[in-house]
Amino acid sequence: MGTILLKNIVSEGIASDILIEGNLIAKVVPSDNQIVVPEGAEVVDCTGKAAFPGFVNMHTHAGMALMKGIGEDIAFHEWLDKIWQAEEQLDEEYVYHATKAACLEMIKTGTTTFNDQYWNMPMAYKAAMELGMRPALSYVVLDKNDPEESERQKAQCQEMYEMSRAWDPKAQFLISVHAIYSVREPMMLWAVDFARERGLKIHIHISETRKEVEDCLKEHGMSPVEYLDSLGVLGPDVIAAHTLWLSDNDVRILGERGVTCVHNINSNLKLASGYRFRYNELKAAGANVCLGTDGCGSSNNLDILEAMKTSAIVQKAWRDDPSAMPLDELAAMVSTNAAKALGINAGEIKEGMLADILIIDIDNYQFLSPAGFLANLVYSAHSDCVDSVICDGKFIMRGRVVEGEKEIIDNARKQMYRVWIQE
């Protein structure tokens, strides 16, 4: 690995020099300190630029990148049935090129790490590695209450896990239990045991819709959170997507168990699942709260900066409180909180941290304000302010250009036509 020196870049309001050695941040010093440039280092003039930790998208379905718009203006469960039917047509080639398109979109909008839940892990891994990202990839347990499918998935899960042990250290293997309504209880418990025996994180949808909660109350006499807790599923190793329809007791349980709750505001709004995400309550209870985009089949994009803005303004609106979800907490949700959830040494621009860094162009109309950097970034700018992206100590985008992006788009378009249009 090489050495990179980012000269005269604004970091936490101070013009700084950031030295990257290998995949780590070696030094962060004020620019007037005259840092010694190591022999052979690449020196990058970052005048007019600011540094920010690479965004972490904590809930994605990257392989759905070519499903934008296939289920518009329909109710959630009707939409889900349509997605499942569509997914029966997908093959390895499609998932590879769709995931590559998703990675391209995430890089262009500032994401360096994503927590994914989709089919065909080998192709997702290949796509993410080729673009230099830091993926957390889940084996998806979704047996649709079919015992034979359960047994098939058990065998495949073990096979995929063994394969993952040869992965690049940037990548992480997780276990995903899709949801309580799509996975048999014995299979759910098997998956959780499998994960915990191997120290793996667990990724699951919880309380995404009012119907999910109502159905669980009818069947089990408990909410989804209470039900999962009664089975011993919930803990600090659980990443719970959505957690939207929560009682006070649900909030208490999630906090006491140290669960990571991932808010996916644009997906929830678009599918009319709801918008009253209980951020303040979850944070106060002790839950770790992060942000995600969900998949492109529901949110239609993977822009985490857009999700940050929408999350904040919706919180302020429904609570009738302009102080709800303050900027520093919002930033933590896509950086330090997310790094904590995945157990990675990232999320801050400090010595010894992984070199996942966004170079933000602040020499433009989007930052013409006396407000602080975060206010301008979240409320004034768009993701095209991300000039360059470094992940694991390497540039994966420079000057808004990702190597091979035209080919990625062309290949993805071919798959889209092959599967969705020409059939």
Residues 89-144 have pLDDT tens digits of 789 999 999 999 999 999 999 999 999 999 899 999 999 999 999 999 999 999 98
Residue 423: the pLDDT is: 47
Average pLDDT in the 53-77 region? 91
- Taking a C-beta distance cutoff of 8 angstroms, is the pair 153, 187 a contact? yes
Tell me: do 232 and 367 sit in the same domain: no
Question: Which of 297, 313, 342 finishes a domain?
Answer: 342
Question: Are residues 31 and 68 located together in one domain of the fold?
Answer: no
Q: Are residues 375 and 246 in the same domain?
A: no
Q: Give strand pairing partners of 16.
A: 9, 30
**Could you tell me the residue range of the domain that residue 19 belongs to?**
3-51+357-405
pLDDT at 388 over 70: yes
The answer on 390 and 309 residing in a single domain is: no
| Same domain membership, residue 377 and residue 329 | no
State what percent of residues in the chain have pLDDT above 90. Answer: 90
Tally of structural domains, the chain: 2
Is residue 50 within 8 A of residue 9, CB to CB? The reply is yes
In a domain, residue 378? The reply is: yes
Q: Take residue 70 and report the two structure tokens written for it.
A: 């296939």
Buried-exposed string 277-298: b where 16+ CB fall within 10 A, e elsewhere: bbbbbbbebebbbbbbbbbbbb
Q: Measured between alpha carbons, how far is 285 from 256 in angstroms, rounded to an integer? A: 7
Q: What average pLDDT score do residues 52-61 get? A: 98
37 part of a folded domain: yes
Q: Given the structure tokens 């699951």, which residue do they identify?
A: 204
Whether residue 1 is predicted with pLDDT greater than 80 in this model: the reply is no
Same domain, 18 and 150: no
Q: Is the pLDDT of residue 79 over 70?
A: yes
End-to-end CA distance of the chain: 46
118 shares its domain with 64: yes
DSSP strand pairing (288-291 vs 260-263): parallel
CATH classification at residue 373 = 2.30.40.10
Within-domain flag for 352:
no
pLDDT of residue 215: 98
Among residues of the chain, what percentage have pLDDT more than 70?
A: 99
Instruction: Give residue 377's pLDDT band: very low, low, confident or very high (50, 70, 90).
Output: very high
Determine the pLDDT at residue 176: 98
Examine the domain organization and report whether 366 and 334 are in the same domain: no
Is 292 in the same domain as 370? no
pLDDT value of residue 6: 98
Does some domain include residue 231? Answer: yes
* Nearest in space to 278 (alpha carbons), one of 238, 305, 237, 240: 240
Inform me whether the pLDDT recorded for 26 exceeds 50. yes
Assigned domain for 306 exists: yes
CA atoms within 13 Å, Cβ hemisphere of 338: 32
Instruction: Tell me the mean pLDDT in the region 156-166.
Output: 97
pLDDT at 64 over 60: yes
Q: Is residue 198 part of a domain?
A: yes
Regarding whether 207 and 137 lie in a shared domain, the answer is yes
User: Is the pLDDT confidence value at 337 over 50?
Assistant: yes
pLDDT for the residue numbered 76: 83
**Which residue did the predictor score with more confidence, 78 or 192?**
192
Do 145 and 198 reside in the same domain of the chain?
A: yes
Q: Is residue 351 part of a domain?
A: no
Mean pLDDT (the chain) is 96
> What's this model's pTM, rounded to 2 decimal places?
0.97
Residue 323 clears pLDDT 90, i.e. is over it: yes
Question: What pLDDT shows up at residue 422?
Answer: 59
Closest by CA position to 203, among listed 144, 262, 128: 262
Q: Does pLDDT of 248 surpass 50?
A: yes
CA-derived radius of gyration, the chain: 21
Domain CATH code at residue 179: 3.20.20.140
Q: Of the residues 316, 342, 368, which one is the last residue of a structural domain?
A: 342
Which secondary-structure segment (H or E) carries 24? strand 24-30
- Kindly indicate the confidence band of residue 70, based on its pLDDT and cuts at 50, 70 and 90: confident
Does 86 score more than 80 pLDDT? Answer: no
Residues 200 and 111 in one domain: yes
With respect to residue 412, please indicate whether it lies within any of the assigned structural domains.
no
